[in-house]
Amino acid sequence: MKVRQVNTEDKGWLPFGIVSHNDLMKTNDLFVPTLRDFHVIFWFKKGSGSYFVDFQKYKFVPNSIVLLAKDQISYFLPFDEDVELQSIVFTPGFIYRNDRDLRHLFNFNMSSHIEGLHIIKLNQEESTYFQVLSDSMMSVARTWTGQLRRNGFYHWLSIFLLNCERLQREQHATIDEKDKLVLQFNQLLEAHFRKEFKVDFYLRELGVSIKTLSKLTKEKFKLSPKAVIDERRLLEIKRQLKGTTRPAKNIAYELGFDEPTNMVKYFKKHTNQTPTAFRKQDKS
């Protein structure tokens, strides 16, 4: 599904949708690196295979749900076996309307994907229940109109997400205080990486010493805090190069580089290739 199909309503588009397996297979979109401006839920009902998120390879298995966050670049490898899947798409603004929603509805984020929290496995009973929710969303999307359609889809999607969060908490161990601090660091990084590149900013915001943060990032990522910041900036450059056709100079200015040439040097230093070469290379 292309970004423009679930963007805004000013041209008749909706900020939500549910796509059947047959409709997903009508195009090649699943297998092309795509930077989406909306969240995606994939429900794999049958079959297994591989997909990439932010240039990392993952596996999916039957009867599992995969949650992909807005602004993550993703694509699937061609399916080697019979696969059946369905997707639900929505913009963050459609479902997260206030702080309470952010606290009580499953919140998509990059760190959740890194930790493996993006995968939810269903047993038969859970699968049957999710099918009821899915059928209800499909009915609302296809047959209802106007504000009632928005309200109806919001209702069923909220229940779907709450159940995702319930299962996620049951299937993954509760994070400890160290993990909470790492998560806070990641959240700060997501909010400020375009403008704040120095570790001191994050130390002040977190209220911790460089020794404390360094120990945590070394344990968690095998990287220093500065390297974690650099990795996030590099990831965004890669996303923009592969997922868009934007000129490199525009990407550079958006990510806080004084000159486009500085981004080229920075990228080459960390990846041993130029942004142009990276954009041209085949997906991997």
Q: What is the mean pLDDT of the chain?
A: 88
Per-residue pLDDT of 248-278, as tens digits, reads 999 999 999 999 999 999 999 999 999 999 9
pLDDT at 171 (0 to 100): 81
Taking 80 as the threshold, does the pLDDT of residue 111 lie above it?
no
Higher-confidence position of 172 and 12: 172
Burial of 84 (0-12, 13-18, 19+ CB in 10 A): middle
| Residue 1 pLDDT grade (very low, low, confident, very high; cuts 50, 70, 90) | very low
When pLDDT is averaged across residues 221-246 and rounded to a whole number, the result is 94
The larger pLDDT score, comparing residue 165 to residue 138, is at 138
Residue 97: Cβ within 10 Å count: 12
Q: Is the pLDDT of residue 283 over 50?
A: yes
Q: Could you read off the pLDDT of 154-174 as tens digits, one per residue? A: 999 999 998 988 888 788 766
pLDDT over 80 (residue 98): no
pLDDT at 109 over 70: no
Q: What is the band of 12 on the pLDDT scale with cuts at 50, 70, 90?
A: low
User: In the prediction, which pLDDT does 138 show?
Assistant: 97
- Res 6 pLDDT > 70: no
Q: What is the pLDDT of residue 207?
A: 96
| Predicted pLDDT of residue 9 | 45
Instruction: At 248, list the tokens.
Output: 């490199």
pLDDT in the model for residue 2? 40
Q: Can you list the domains of the chain with their CATH numbers? A: 3-171 (2.60.120.280), 177-279 (1.10.10.60)
Q: What is the pLDDT of residues 29-69, one digit of tens each?
A: 999 998 888 999 999 999 999 999 889 899 999 999 998 88
Structure tokens of 33? 């690196």
User: Is 70 exceeded by the pLDDT of residue 139?
Assistant: yes
Tally Cβ neighbours within 10 Å of residue 223: 14
The amino acid sitting at 15 is: P
DSSP letters for the chain: --GGGGS-TTTT--SEEEE-HHHHTTSSGGGS-EE-SSEEEEEEEE--EEEEETTEEEEE-SSEEEEE-TT-EEEEPPPSS--EEEEEEE-HHHH--SHHHHHHS----HHHHHTTTTEEE--HHHHHHHHHHHHHHHHHHHH--HHHHHHHHHHHHHHHHHHHHHHHHHHSPPP-HHHHHHHHHHHHHHHHTTT--SHHHHHHHHT--HHHHHHHHHHHHSS-HHHHHHHHHHHHHHHHHHH----HHHHHHHTT-SSHHHHHHHHHHHHSS-HHHHHHSPP-
